[in-house]
Structure 1
Amino acid sequence: MEFNGGSLAADHLCVLVHGLWGNPNHMRSVAKALRAAYPEEQLYILVAERNKGSFTYDGIELGGERVCVEIEEELEKIRSRGGKVAKLSIVGYSLGGLVARYAIGLLHAKGVFDQVEPVNFTTFVTPHLGVRTPSRGWHNHVWNVLGARTLSMSGRQLFTIDNFRGTGRPLLAILADPDSIFMSGLKRFKRRTLYTNIANDRTAVYYTTGISKTDPFTDMSKVKANYLEGYEDVILDPRNPVSPLAPKESTALASATEMCLWLFKKAPLVVALAIFIPVGFVAFLVNSLVQTFRSSRRIKLHEQGLAGIQVQNYRVPIWIKEIRGAVEDAYENLNSSQDQSYLRSSDDEGDYSDLDREETEILALERKQSHPSLPTLALAPYQFAMVSALDNLGWRKYPVWIHKSGHSHAAIIVRMEKPAFSEGYIVLKHWLKEEFMI
């Protein structure tokens, strides 16, 4: 990566972590914007690379350990050359934000934050609550259970069907446990900022990237977007992102016309999906099978200490107060086709017999608090607990509305330099001017 490194005079290290199926080049525009804002004498940049490509199938834990190793090695490299890093910032994109949160816990437990000050932690469209679609019944089982098995360990952890280290809880729930090293480490950062897409994100939708149990952006035709001054048409005002529109009168003829226009616009997509999805889906499943097999072998080597990392140095206790033993498009199309379900105050649907008393009480409280005009999403009990714990840390949350591209997940960080992704430059401008503390 051409923007890696910096002068020995720089006392601030910023680490960039890419996402699933990603590589360091995905963070090129972020690194380029950082370097344009801060010269080498002010900021040292490290774009993590040990987790690239198919290695991202191996899970958040292994990815976090790899990133932790890279950061420790970079700090030592700078020290050995006569430099001294006093401040550390970490930026995670998509899955990279979860990998970064795991690495932060390890850095905290290993005492690194006693030597360098954690300053900025920023995530761009990171699925903090996982990628489980809020749904119940057979829909829940078809996608949230079966779909989870197409991405090896990362898939199981993202869909929260894993059992982390025999705790009986998914890794993401442990990452958000207030007593864990991960939350203790995250709490030490001066500023926690996240950017979340409100539309056109086929990979990670608003509720999870924005750490929210409601979604006020499901139908933007019924609300008025309120933008931040100077960042119009892209970044919404987090204090008052939308306002309700006055209901407009409609006729049967107008409704029929609108439906015909919608069908006409969607016709090419329907035809294309009918032709290409069967072929693409088969290719996706075959590739997933191959990558899952390869990932299993890498995980086994990693656990045996044969992958270049002495794993015992990074399997630290995960609790502080209570110590216990320790093909992208196909996926996005399938993921984006899932409908979200909601809880309502009078809702008594669903079979909750498999939940314990605490989980049942959480759902009962959430149903009671659900508002008719903005109903609560049908999250799992542990996801509601995650929202509460993460929000207690304090986040600066910015909703982003990408208009020019139907692939806002990539556009928000300008993953490739092309005109359709140009609105991402406005997001990066806001982050560096308003949020990033040097």
Structure 2
Amino acid sequence: MPSDRYAGLAAVLGAIRSSSDITQPMLVEQVGLGRSVVAQRVAELEAAGLVVSDGFGPSTGGRAPRRLRLHSEAGYVLGADIATNELVVGVADLSGALLETRHREIDVVDGPEIVIGAVEQLAAELVDEVGAHRSLWSFGVGMPGPVAYDSGEPATMPTLPDWSRHPIRERLAERFGVPVWVDNRTNLSALGERRVNPVAARSRHMIYLGGGYGLGAAVVLDGRIHRGAHGLAGGIDHVPVPGADDVACHCGRTGCLEAVAGRAALVRDGRLLAETAQSPALARVLARTGRIRPVDVTEAAGRGDAAARALLHRSATMIGRSLAILVNVFDPDLVVVGGGVARARAHVLAAIREEIYRLALPSATRDLRIEPSAFDQEIAGITGAVEFALGELFSPDHLPAVLDARSGGATITALDGHVPA
């Protein structure tokens, strides 16, 4: 349990991180601590090089108060977003601003040796490019499936057996010499959403629809990601869909939402529409490329292809029904539609809204907002991975080690056993 001192330091630092124009009197109002305590905490953070002065704020009759800001130039953090078929690695300053990114096409079924090897290569290139060797502070990683948060290892996944319990955290920590945190990429996309979307940032209870290897949802309760006992909270991909008992899922069961409405379902059913000539647009794509991807279905729908539109509408209807269950259980004030689904928002959002409002309790939907993600899905995961790395680094549990390292001029290399000694 962190002491009151470190809880106060984290609260003050968090308020400074989240504001571009804050003074010490404003901090007193925001964090609920006395003026002398806030002054002490600010002084400690300045001595550690985490906070610096940034001019003066408006005077209210006496001496103008100093503006304070995070010393974002003091260090760097790495982030990695591992999706089903794409990898994004980025480096950011301590404010979370992305400085450079690298993209690479991957196939997550190739396994951790190949994929994490690519993460290591791209991250090393970025460290070299920005000169972060001596000022790298932490690394956040998003995985396309459930993660055992305490250990940072991918949870057992029948569809991706090579990934189960792979020591990603230990491997990357040893390679880069910084604390590493790993989580489900849908959770991290939700963190990214809360960073860039003012509506999401104000929400205390949010559901974020995303996707990794399958459909997934992040649940935010009281402003914090709710992961559950085993990192599985929000995993709607294997919720059973009534009337779909004959549809096999890659998990070994039948009738799962992923099997009838997820990425694999769009690929399978889109290909069938192409092969049977029910969708002229998809038939042309199949003839040209030999494959059908979810984005091909979305693009065909955008060109007015009736069969592609019907397929997306059917998927959206089933997704909306499953989200209605989460709305009834968790009673959010906001549902954000992100991930791959957000790219088809013009064809799916209305159907998702309709099913949630139809099936969820009226008291739960009275003031519920259902909105598309506010930013480019290509950077949602990597933005969240960086925010995750910073949030953990500056949390009350880990801030003491950061301050100790800063006061001693050492590198931040060991937090809670996340980095080998």
Relative to the length of structure 1, the TM-score reads 0.25
**Structure with higher RCO (Cα < 8 A, 6+ apart):** 1
Q: Which has the higher strand share?
A: 2
Relative to the length of structure 2, the TM-score reads 0.25
